Structure 1
Amino acid sequence: MNDIGIWGLGVMGQNLALNFASKGYSISVYNRTEDGEDNIVSDFMDKVDSDYSIEGFTSISEFVSSLKKDKIVLIMVKAGTILDSVIEVIVPLLSKNDIIIDGGNSDYMDTLRRLEYLSEKDIDYIGCGISGGSEGALKGPSMMPGGSFQAWDKISSMFRDISAKDKYGNPCCEWIGKDGAGHFVKTVHNGIEYAVMQIIAEVYDIQKKLLCFDNVTISDNFKNWQTDELKNYLFEITSNLLILKDKDSNYILDSILDKSSQKGTGKNTVIASFDYNIPTPLISEAVNARLISGFYSNRTQLNQFYKMGKISEINKKEVEESLYDGIYLAILFSYLNGLELIRESSLKNNWNIDLGNIIKVWKAGCIIQSDILYFLEDVVLDSNNSESLYLNQKIAKEVNARESSLRKLVVNAILSGTPVSVLSSAVSFIDSLKSLQLPANLIQIQRDFFGYHGYEKINRDGQIYHLDGEV
């Protein structure tokens, strides 16, 4: 009888199976045979190392029967209705206290719905965010489980075994919280990923257009910025991809259409930020930047219609000197945007999420792994969970030391006509956070004038006023 079953042999399912097997676990795998997937299981089994204990099945009942008591089934299929249909098929074959784990990118509210549905059938359910892509699945992913804590007790050892390990050897797999907390944190992880990727793209663009650097020089810069405080996975791959050539010795990057797509997790992060009234401007602008890139045909026409005004002189030396501190601060605030959203949503949903655990999980194995998380770990340890991370003195110190560099970077980019939507939103967000007087008072008096929404007054303890009572 096998330790765990994996339903779905896409690349993630296959590599997770190999990962489990490499750690000494016995695995059952299943994949449907419809829609051209007849040979998925047999093809996978043909390449499995003979030392691994993996059994392949095309019969659902035989697959389930092959598992040990208190069966554990990890489902790796597309989120949404497909997952619901798989659950409906497998539930009749399971017994009390068996465990279903969703390892896809499900919406956290769907996870909560499934958890409640399965609890009525005495089946435990875990929604587990998994980051790291196919390589992470094979060599050690970052894992974010949430849902049934009773189930977590049973699977924690094996999940920690296959997870990535940070530079101190600690597993990047920690219990996140109840309900859909695990999938919510994975969604926010992806939102941060959007922001950091867009920041890197904007800094690449600045170097290419303002400083006229070639691919090799830009690659060297990203490589040299891999210092202890800013070492990260995305810098590493960017440095390599910038100088990757095709068989004709041309840079592949330079031939790629500037039109980026998305699967929706960035958008879902932004929607959640609106739902919980928590600003995440860097993530929001990163999503917008992808949408704007999709206006490719319009952009090619508008390039002819919208004429550039007179370009102010750019201080190239200032730009070059500002790059490192500017990108550091923008990336730091991308993480803070996401962590603040997690902190506030946890308080409002009573998830009891430990931000320290989130940081532990993200330190390795995932797309946003970065040594900046070791700094943020100190910030979290030094903070009260009920208080905003932006108030931490360590964050204030970083802002005071680096904000002028970020501002210089943005100003020069804007003067040159180079779009820097996320970098500029970082500056505006910091300016707003430290502003004693925002113009929201004008908005409130306008709202009361046309909609009778009311407004508060300075030093009046939240009492609501209306224009008709004051004029």
Structure 2
Amino acid sequence: MAELGLLYLGMGVSGGEEGARNGPSMMPGGSFEAYKYIEDILLKVAAQVPDSGPCVTYIGKGGSGNFVKMVHNGIEYGDMQLISEAYDVLKSVGKLSNEELLSVFSEWNKGELLSFLIEITADIFKIKDDKGEGHLVDKVLDKTGMKGTGKWTVQQAADLSIAAPTIASSLDARFLSGLKEERVKASEVFKSGGFGDILTDQAVDKEKLVNDVRQALYASKICSYAQE
């Protein structure tokens, strides 16, 4: 088609609603000639990071741009699962209140765990239920869906014989999350409530637990990124 003057450019875009307002991260792939035609536009549209510049770079030929976006989403699956498990341990074992969790995640977002996902996790603990008492986080349905990019990442990893256990485990967790009725029935057979019940009689050093979970989360994120 290039001989006919038709140039194709595919592009992964990340940023959601905030990206639409303040600039997204873009991952163009395909015809480099096509990219050069619109490079100036993309550089202006992209999110701008101090000391790093615009969040856009030409990835490579073919569908490489969308492939990178797929892997990006797969890593995000893993990150969200790691954060949810960190929350579970702090809430169930440490018995941290939502106010304490807000403080912990806000502090984490000032150090090596600084990220958008940690930031919005902290924000969640601020939200009160405007139609009842307590915090909204305690009333969220424990069931989620998926768009498919995490599954595609795991499928590609398997096809390429690459071990990606963190993302694969996060995908399994999503599968189980969707089986709400089955989990309710299983809970009637297996009565344990999890960590909280198992460790109910043990004293917990909250400060040490928070530090241990922080380090475990950081190490797990490094492992997840290394898998990709």
| Same-fold call, TM cutoff 0.5 | yes
User: How far 1:285 moved relative to its partner?
Assistant: 0.5
User: How far 1:315 moved relative to its partner?
Assistant: 6.3
- Call closer, same or farther: CA 1:120–1:292 in 2, change over 3 Å: farther
How far apart, CA to CA, are the structure 2 residues paired with 1:322 and 1:261? 30
The runs of 5 or more residues in structure 1 that have no matched partner are: 1-117, 339-471
Match of 1:316, SS state, is: coil
RMSD: 1.9
Q: Within 5 Å, which residues of 2 pair with 1:104-119?
A: 118-119=1-2
2:112 aligned with 1:225? no
2:27 aligned with 1:144? yes
- Call closer, same or farther: CA 1:119–1:250 in 2, change over 3 Å: farther
How far apart, CA to CA, are the structure 2 residues paired with 1:231 and 1:186? 21
How many residues of Structure 1 are paired with residues of Structure 2 in the alignment? 221
Instruction: Mark the structure with the bigger radius of gyration.
Output: 1
2:214 aligned with 1:331? no
2:32 aligned with 1:153? no
1:242 is aligned to: 125
User: How far 1:241 moved relative to its partner?
Assistant: 1.1
2:152 aligned with 1:265? no
Percentage of pairs with the same residue: 38
- Call closer, same or farther: CA 1:161–1:314 in 2, change over 3 Å: farther
User: How far 1:121 moved relative to its partner?
Assistant: 4.5
2:85 aligned with 1:197? no
User: How far 1:246 moved relative to its partner?
Assistant: 3.0
2:209 is aligned to: 319
Higher helix share: 2
What amino acid sits opposite 1:289 in the alignment?
A
Q: Within 5 Å, which residues of 2 pair with 1:28-427?
A: 118-119=1-2, 121-248=4-131, 250-308=134-192, 311=198, 316-317=204-205, 318-338=208-228
What amino acid sits opposite 2:82 in the alignment?
I
How far apart, CA to CA, are the structure 2 residues paired with 1:163 and 1:239? 26
TM-score by length of 1: 0.45
What amino acid sits opposite 1:219 in the alignment?
L
User: How far 1:247 moved relative to its partner?
Assistant: 2.1
User: How far 1:314 moved relative to its partner?
Assistant: 5.1
* Deviation beyond 4 Å, 4+ runs, structure 1: 312-315
What amino acid sits opposite 1:271 in the alignment?
Q
For CA contacts below 8 A with separation 6 or more, give which structure has more relative contact order.
2
- Call closer, same or farther: CA 1:314–1:170 in 2, change over 3 Å: farther
How far apart, CA to CA, are the structure 1 residues paired with 2:21 and 2:58? 21
Provide Cα deviations, 1:331-382, integer angstroms capped at 9, x if missing partner: 12222222xxxxxxxxxxxxxxxxxxxxxxxxxxxxxxxxxxxxxxxxxxxx
User: How far 1:319 moved relative to its partner?
Assistant: 2.8
User: How far 1:243 moved relative to its partner?
Assistant: 1.9
How far apart, CA to CA, are the structure 2 residues paired with 1:319 and 1:228? 17
Provide Cα deviations, 1:366-410, integer angstroms capped at 9, x if missing partner: xxxxxxxxxxxxxxxxxxxxxxxxxxxxxxxxxxxxxxxxxxxxx
User: How far 1:230 moved relative to its partner?
Assistant: 2.0
How far apart, CA to CA, are the structure 1 residues paired with 2:79 and 2:187? 27
How far apart, CA to CA, are the structure 1 residues paired with 2:173 and 2:190? 19
How far apart, CA to CA, are the structure 1 residues paired with 2:90 and 2:36? 50
- Call closer, same or farther: CA 1:123–1:315 in 2, change over 3 Å: farther
How far apart, CA to CA, are the structure 1 residues paired with 2:120 and 2:90? 17
